[in-house]
Amino acid sequence: MVEINDGHRRPETAVVAVNRIPELRSWRHDPVGATVTIGAGVTYSELMVDPLASLLPALAEASRTVGSPQIRNAGTLGGNLGTCSPAGDGLPVLAALEAVVEIAGPSGRRSLPVGEFMLGVKQNALTPGELIIAVTVPVVGGWQGYAKVGVRNAMVIAVASAALVLDQTRRTVRIALGSVGPTVLRCPDAEAQLAGGLDWASLSTSDAVVQRFGELVSEASSPITDHRSTADYRRHSVGVLARRLARRAEVGGAA
Ligand SMILES: Cc1cc2nc3c(=O)[nH]c(=O)nc-3n(C[C@H](O)[C@H](O)[C@H](O)COP(=O)(O)OP(=O)(O)OC[C@H]3O[C@@H](n4cnc5c(N)ncnc54)[C@H](O)[C@@H]3O)c2cc1C
């Protein structure tokens, strides 16, 4: 609707509202498979609160930062994936949790890891006629969080964002960055470095490890300068976000 209002897009025939399809509005938890499957029409307001917030805390945290109450009541995870903006707040969390997008179309159903679904700036892997029906998100034991920098505290599109997931069972670190590249970026070098430097029982680590983690995250970013920020500020701030998340994990892990 924003693109239509701005004259960037004209619907050729009709606009189809999918927000009253019950299958898209529901979600289910599979405790055996340790996943939550969230219908594409589930709103941020639903993701922000229990029981979903306890299962997927970083997604709840990201949802709380989206727009205003009106936007959170109307906006959905399916719409965030459909838009596929590198600034979409749900997307770094889905990437760090290695979620899978469930797609239905004229030739049947398919599933795609979110890292393969997001192709570039507002580009995704949907083909004509395909609909996102859900996203399946692993429930991870450990700490997870989301952080965002914008030009003000609320109602703001991210200048830089990051989601950190510490999987205490598998002893893996996953970090995904928003707004600092053409699409959401993972940082394999930073992930390996922090995983090697963490005390996995307490999730604590040294200042030197956290400092280096931030540097590696900044190096992995590929930002541009635009009307919201400079590339330099984005590169710097995403490293700061990564360091803060690592420190928050330590506090959260010990709690
Ligand atoms: C004032 C304002 C503030 C905003 N603030 C934020 C913010 O802080 N963070 C943020 O991330 N976003 C923000 N947004 C953008 C937007 O609200 C979100 O991206 C939201 O997730 C879009 O969801 P929706 O259901 O409204 O999708 P729509 O706007 O209805 O659709 C968005 C795109 O996705 C496609 N789409 C929707 N559902 C599906 C589906 N099931 N399958 C396939 N394609 C689909 C549509 O065709 C369209 O191209 C803001 C928007 C506004 C207007």
For residue 252, the model assigns a pLDDT of 77
- Of the candidates 249, 248, 37, 225, which has an alpha carbon nearest to the alpha carbon of residue 142? 249
For residue 3, the model assigns a pLDDT of 84
Which residue among 15, 24, 43, 80 has the greatest number of ligand 1 atoms within 8 angstroms of its CB, and so is best to mutate? 80
For residue 255, the model assigns a pLDDT of 47
Helices 207-220 and 188-197 sit at what angle, rounded to 10 degrees? 170
CA distance 182 to 59: 21
- Of the candidates 231, 129, 104, which has an alpha carbon nearest to the alpha carbon of residue 180? 231
Two structure tokens written together for 119: 């192709």
Does the beta carbon of 75 sit less than 6 angstroms from any atom of ligand 1? yes
3-state SS, residue 30: strand
pLDDT in tens, the chain (255 residues): 888 899 988 888 888 899 999 999 999 999 999 999 999 999 999 999 999 999 999 999 999 999 999 999 999 999 999 999 999 999 999 999 999 999 999 999 999 999 999 999 999 999 999 999 999 999 999 999 999 999 998 899 999 999 999 999 999 999 999 999 999 999 999 999 999 999 999 999 999 999 999 999 999 999 999 999 999 999 999 999 999 999 999 987 654
- Prediction pTM value: 0.97
For the CA of 65, the closest atom of ligand 1 is 8
Any bridge partners for residue 105, and if so which?
108
User: What spacing in Å lies between the alpha carbon of 199 and ligand 1's midpoint?
Assistant: 39
For residue 254, the model assigns a pLDDT of 54
Q: Which amino acid is present at 71?
A: I
Does the beta carbon of 157 sit less than 6 angstroms from any atom of ligand 1? yes
For the CA of 157, the closest atom of ligand 1 is 8
Does the beta carbon of 18 sit less than 6 angstroms from any atom of ligand 1? yes
Q: Whose CA is nearest to atom 34 of ligand 1?
A: 82
Cα 53 to chain centroid, rounded: 14
Long-range contacts of 184-190 (CB under 8 A, 24+ apart): 184/86, 184/88, 184/91, 184/92, 184/95, 184/118, 185/220, 185/221, 185/222, 186/95, 186/96, 186/115, 186/220, 187/216, 187/217, 187/220, 188/220, 189/216, 189/219, 189/220, 190/216, 190/217, 190/220, 190/242
For residue 253, the model assigns a pLDDT of 67
- Of the candidates 116, 79, 77, 82, which has an alpha carbon nearest to the alpha carbon of residue 93? 77
User: What spacing in Å lies between the alpha carbon of 128 and ligand 1's midpoint?
Assistant: 18
Which residue among 19, 65, 83 has the greatest number of ligand 1 atoms within 8 angstroms of its CB, and so is best to mutate? 83
Cα 215 to chain centroid, rounded: 21
3-state SS, residue 41: coil
Two structure tokens written together for 147: 């952080």
